Amino acid sequence: MKTRTTETPPMIPREAWSPPVPDDVAALFRTEGLTLVGIADADAAPELETEFKAWLSEQRQGSMKWLSEHAELKYRPESMLAGCRSVLIVALNYYQAAPWARGDNNATPAGARGPAGRIARYAWGRDYHKVIGKRLLRVVRALQEAYPEESFRSFTDATPLAERYFAERAGASFTARNTLSISSAFGSWFLIGEILSTKDFGVSEPSNGRHGSCPQGCYRCIDVCPTGALHAPHRIDASKCISYLTIEHKGHIPEDLRPKMGTWLFGCDLCQEVCPLNVRAEVTAEEDFITVRAGDSQLLEEILAIETDDEYTARFAGSPLMRAKRQGLLRNAAIVAANMDAQSLRPLLERRAGDRDDVIAEAARWALSQLNDRVAPDRQVPPATRP
């Protein structure tokens, strides 16, 4: 059996590097608090499109139907902007230190006032679509004024475009074994945005390894993944990923995956937490991310007490947690309660077992059955049923 390294591998870049970009263009981004980290050409990549379609044919995308519906757009920028010649890539650091042990799937946030579910770092503050999106729109307006004969469109994780691929092509990053983009400036703790342009701004210098590389023999990300979503280097089964299950997946979560979700309420950072290329991550200076919206965790008691969609919106408006909606987050909270053996939450789970939303009700009933299995026979209660 192959021995896997546990020491910090040596392939960590000595300093942050970004490819040179035209300063007059970069200045437009700096004005909006964004960093232009590279420029790629807009040529299509049919070989990667074929590879992506093969991945889809394996049903690795789970219930994310839009991935197959828009597969032919992913590696074709011109399909989103006619005459596109350049893809301008921006990056925004979102890293913050977490109050729990790195790489522990069942960790609990230090200082929590009761059973609490953890939230992935990108979702602690304001929704990044809003943070980056509005700024990119202002940059687009500035570019339009500077080049009135050209056309521009901005996006951030809201189109089929393969952002990570074009970021790598722009010299801004490389793709790690956990399928995430790694930058020598941010590690993997950064968000990507882009502007498509009919003006040719040239192409950035290739990184040629200056962002580092996955160290030989390091499989920490694969080893730490509780569900086996990272089933091979550079290969992910999204249908098993905790981030997918807790954020994108609508409906019932397969029972065999529920215990493997640990204490993650929304998202998962495990494969990033153990990555040695994140060893020098610096805390973001972005106020919209630092200012707490959802924060690093949420008390399960408070989540399970949310009765209506309006109440949910009032609590999480402007936060990435809006993506899961009431159904998703209360479903997740019930599962985390079971994983934490949170017996104190039985009364709330009993209430949710009769919830009008069948997904929430089923998750609550499952959680109660799990809690029931862990108490002495004389303290067990009959399984909850919907009235």
Catalytic residue numbers read 157
Q: DSSP strand E in 139-287: where?
A: 152-155, 174-175, 181-182, 190-197, 230-232, 235-236, 264-266
DSSP H/E element including 88: strand 86-93
The residue count for the chain? 387
The amino acid at residue 339 is: N
Provide the token pair at 273. Answer: 């937490």
CA-based angle 318:320:322, to the nearest 5? 75
- Which residues, at least 6 apart from 63, have a Cβ–Cβ distance to it below 8 Å? 239, 248, 249, 250, 251
What is the token pair recorded at 32? 């909006």
Q: Is 339 exposed, middle or buried (0-12, 13-18, 19+ CB in 10 A)?
A: buried
**Which of the 8 DSSP states describes residue 187?**
B
C-alpha distances (whole Å) from 272 to each of 47, 181, 187, 264 are: 28, 11, 9, 14
- CA 61 to chain CA centroid, Å, is 15
Q: Is 102 helix (H, G, I), strand (E, B) or coil?
A: coil
* CA proximity to 341, closest of 259, 235, 275: 259
**Spatial contact of 260 and 224, defined as CB atoms under 8 Å apart:** no
Q: Which residues of 156-166 are buried (b: 16+ CB within 10 A; e: fewer)?
A: beebbbbbbbb
Closest CA to 242 of 272, 219, 220, 264: 264
